Amino acid sequence: MTDLLEKFRPLAEAREALTQSSQDPFRVIIERILSPTEAIVNGHPMILAGTNNYLGLTFDPQCIQAAVQAVQEQGTGTTGSRMANGSFSGHLALEHELAEFFGRRWCNVFSTGYQANLGVIAALTGQGDVILIDADCHASIYDGCRMSGAEVIRFRHNDVADLCKRLARLGKRCANTLIIVEGLYSMFGDRAALREIAITKREYGAYLLVDEAHSLGVLGERGRGLAEEAGVEDSVDFVVGTFSKSLGAIGGYCVSDHPEVDLARYVSRPYIFTASPCPSIVASTRAALQKLRTEPALRVRLWDNARRLYDELKGLGFRLGPEPSPIIAARLGQKDETIAFWNGLLDQGVYVNMILPPAAPDGSSLLRCSVSAAHTPDQINRICRAFASVKAALSSDLTDCHGAIRS
């Protein structure tokens, strides 16, 4: 019989091996935040290029002032769930404003985006139901599926033919089937084939949930996400998302025209048993949503920066996602090469996300940038120069005879 904690031994050994060859990414300390794009990290100035702060609103004066006023007037927290302690007026106002923004009838707000997926998926589905998920879906979607007790079937990433094949096998069970995809996938920044998926959903009579966590404020004429950009909002039954990207806070939501979403809060364990969002978070989120709605120039700057960084890194020979996006992931070679590159970027004053197996969907090693509207042209230049400098310094290990990054 093994000891309860024995399972952690391999993890401890893996972490020790990592710290021998690099800085432990879990012990990189952001000591002071200077702006949406700058910080002091382990004692050194750093450009933040991995924050998901797409619209750069974390330091917006109006968002900060709204949060400060809410703290002064309502205190620091709610100290309980909405079921037990009641809803604050701000919770109801935020739900109304989100529903109105998306043009939907109903909205539920959760304490985190992760809990939004857990709570919605597990409330909508159960034993006897089927969930069809894109293989590259986020961990919170997988966990919500496990919690639901429904039968879970994966289809190949963005493969509509594979989705159709699996729906055809279900026959009449399609009426009890929920298809789940994401707007922008968080590892490579690629879009779902949502127009084709919506057609397929209608053909087979299933339901469709789209996680717009990374596409809220990024895609669509009004920033409502990929469903708006693709022109299929009327085919999407449920939209789930988070406040922790474009809205610069923390929390999650689900909007829908199905009245059952409002009833779902009575059976959603993550909603019932979690303390509700604190007043300052609700207030800053409402202010950020208003910014998103009234300042489209933020989205223009974001995409200018994203296209520039994507084009520059592609020109340097890095293997990137299939199209420009605020999420720009460079696929490198082996894990050791990726760790060395990440450390080199830190030495150059640039912080990005290091993704090692098995976290990446295809088992690859990635350096993932997320671009912000708040990045200045000079900062984009410095990020590009850092990638070029580290690539040159490690060229003997990272490049083949044609000068391209090894796959």
Q: Which of 271, 294, 317 is the last residue of a domain?
A: 294
What is the edge-to-edge ordering of all strands in the sheet holding 207-211?
106-110, 252-256, 238-242, 207-211, 177-182, 130-134, 151-155
* CA 69/CA 339 separation, integer angstroms: 43
The pLDDT, as a whole number, for residue 396 is 58
From the candidates 91, 138, 201, 245, give the one annotated as an active-site residue. Answer: 245
Q: Are residues 97 and 210 in the same domain?
A: yes
Q: Where are the beta strands (DSSP E) in 111-242?
A: 130-134, 151-155, 177-182, 207-211, 238-242
Instruction: Give me the CATH number covering residue 387.
Output: 3.90.1150.10
Judge whether 405 lies within some domain: no
Judge whether 177 lies within some domain: yes
Judge whether 213 lies within some domain: yes
Instruction: Give me the CATH number covering residue 238.
Output: 3.40.640.10
Judge whether 407 lies within some domain: no
**β-bridge mates for residue 337, sequence order:** none
Task: Quick: pLDDT tens for 110-136.
Answer: 999 999 999 999 999 999 999 999 999
**Catalytic annotation present for 245:** yes
Q: Are residues 270 and 338 in the same domain?
A: no
Contact 275, 269 (CB under 8 A): no
From the candidates 91, 138, 214, 391, give the one annotated as an active-site residue. Answer: 214
Q: Are residues 43 and 165 in the same domain?
A: no
Q: Are residues 21 and 73 in the same domain?
A: no
Q: Are residues 130 and 275 in the same domain?
A: yes
Judge whether 404 lies within some domain: no
Structure tokens at 265: 């809060």
Per-block mean pLDDT, blocks of 10 residues, the chain (407 long): 84 75 71 97 96 98 98 97 96 98 98 98 97 97 97 98 98 97 95 98 98 98 98 98 98 98 95 97 98 98 98 96 95 88 95 88 88 98 98 70 41
Q: Are residues 251 and 108 in the same domain?
A: yes
From the candidates 111, 148, 186, 365, give the one annotated as an active-site residue. Answer: 186
Whole-Å CA distances, 140 to 113, 147, 298, 361, 393: 8, 10, 28, 14, 38
Q: Are residues 40 and 180 in the same domain?
A: no
Q: Which of 294, 313, 346 is the last residue of a domain?
A: 294
The pLDDT, as a whole number, for residue 399 is 45
The domain total for the chain is 2
Q: Are residues 158 and 305 in the same domain?
A: no
The pLDDT, as a whole number, for residue 7 is 86
Q: Which of 294, 317, 344 is the last residue of a domain?
A: 294
The pLDDT, as a whole number, for residue 407 is 36
* CA 407/CA 404 separation, integer angstroms: 9
Q: Is 86 helix (H, G, I), strand (E, B) or coil?
A: coil
Q: Are residues 159 and 174 in the same domain?
A: yes
**Catalytic annotation present for 391:** no
Judge whether 1 lies within some domain: no
Q: Are residues 278 and 338 in the same domain?
A: no
The residue segments making up the domain with residue 170 are 59-294
Judge whether 163 lies within some domain: yes
Judge whether 347 lies within some domain: yes
Question: What's the half-sphere exposure (Cβ side, CA atoms, 13 Å) at 247?
Answer: 31
- Helices and strands counted in the chain (H then E): 16, 14
Q: Are residues 51 and 103 in the same domain?
A: no
**Catalytic annotation present for 375:** no
Q: Are residues 120 and 231 in the same domain?
A: yes
The pLDDT, as a whole number, for residue 10 is 84
